Amino acid sequence: MKMVFFSSESLEVEQVGRELVHAGIPCEILAGPVPEGLFPSVSYSELWIQNDQDYQRALLVCVALGVGFAKRATREQPVKAGDID
């Protein structure tokens, strides 16, 4: 199993999970608290795919949805050249 997405918004994780299932990618959602000291009193949900060979397709679904690492900056938060490593 590999984690492909996590968020403090459980509904967003559920939506991405539904899209993965619709694409034929079995997955499951795990929930838990953020490790101590990272973000106090915030919980999050994780989306894990069951088959490692589906990882690339799952990431492409995330890109198509614009979530996770694929989330684009908004006009209020433009990407600056110094922000990219």
Output the tens digit of pLDDT for each of the chain's 85 residues.
Answer: 999 988 888 899 999 999 999 999 999 999 766 566 655 556 788 899 999 999 999 999 998 888 877 666 555 555 555 544 4
Q: Which domain holds residue 60?
A: 2-83
Query: Whole-model pTM?
Result: 0.71
Is residue 44 within 8 Å of 6, Cβ to Cβ? Answer: yes
State the CATH number of the domain containing residue 48.
3.30.70
Inter-residue contact 47 to 20 (CB < 8 Å): yes
**What was the pLDDT predicted at 28?**
95
Q: State residue 84's pLDDT score.
A: 46
- Other beta carbons less than 10 A from residue 80's beta carbon: 8
User: What's the Rg (C-alpha) of the chain?
Assistant: 14
Domain count, the chain: 1
**pLDDT score at 78:** 53
Instruction: Report the run of H or E that residue 45 belongs to, with start and end.
Output: strand 43-49
